[in-house]
Amino acid sequence: MLRRFSETRRPHPLHGKDIRTDIEAERQRLAVLRAEATAVIDTAELNVHGLRSIVLGRYGRAEGNLAVTVMSFGFKYGLPLDADHVVDVRFLPNPHWVAELRPRTGLDEAVSQYVLSQDGAKDFLESYATALQPVLNGYLRERKRYATVAVGCTGGKHRSVALAEALAERLGSTGASVTTIHRDLGRE
């Protein structure tokens, strides 16, 4: 464990004085659980893939579809750190500059229609969804079960929301389990 923390340069979750002390404190805290355990996996020589293989072999395979989260966000609030893929839709005209659309969001039909009717919007949506398919299929082959696709515009209110909803609908039609999150909606 000391080697792993040193290699990754990550702090131990206990954030004590040093890594050795933190590891020992963790072992003491978990001693009761370890004593009651029916199986203990020595991970000293395992990477994440080896560990996953052992756990799935002992306790069953995780079957099913890929769980995809499509997240809208605003670039002015920063990139989502947990995104596997980030796409920028600021190439489309901003509904913020249309007086009757400004107070609305990409969840409103009028805003969604405006965004999706812009030159290149539908082509982009279809091309991007098509381009994601081999990636998502590859995640399944690698036994990854979760993916986050982030769609960003300036403020995360109009374009990214409308396109995230449309992308989620498109990906859902391929059999993926899709959830939509609008990270920055209502933040303005």
Residue range 136-147, pLDDT digits in tens: 989 888 878 788
Q: Which residues have a Cβ under 8 Å from the Cβ of 136 and sit 6 or more positions away?
A: 66, 68, 147, 171, 176
pLDDT confidence of 105, banded at 50, 70, 90?
very high
**Two structure tokens written together for 94:** 């901003």
111: pLDDT strictly greater than 60: yes
Could you give the C-alpha distances from 171 to 69, 75, 87, 150, 157, in angstroms and in order? 10, 23, 15, 13, 21
| Pick from 147, 160, 149: nearest CA to 77 | 160
* Higher local confidence (pLDDT), 15 or 158: 158
Contact 80, 150 (CB under 8 A): yes
Question: How confident is the model at residue 56, as a pLDDT?
Answer: 64
- DSSP letter, residue 155: S
Looking at the chain, the whole-number percentage of residues with pLDDT higher than 90 is 50
pLDDT confidence of 126, banded at 50, 70, 90?
very high
The residue ranges of DSSP E strands in 61-156, in sequence order, are 67-74, 85-88, 146-153
* Higher local confidence (pLDDT), 169 or 16: 169
Question: How confident is the model at residue 108, as a pLDDT?
Answer: 96
62: pLDDT strictly greater than 60: no
Across the chain, mean pLDDT equals 86
* Higher local confidence (pLDDT), 178 or 49: 178
Average pLDDT over residues 17-38: 83
Q: Considering the entire predicted model, what is its pTM?
A: 0.68
* Higher local confidence (pLDDT), 35 or 106: 106
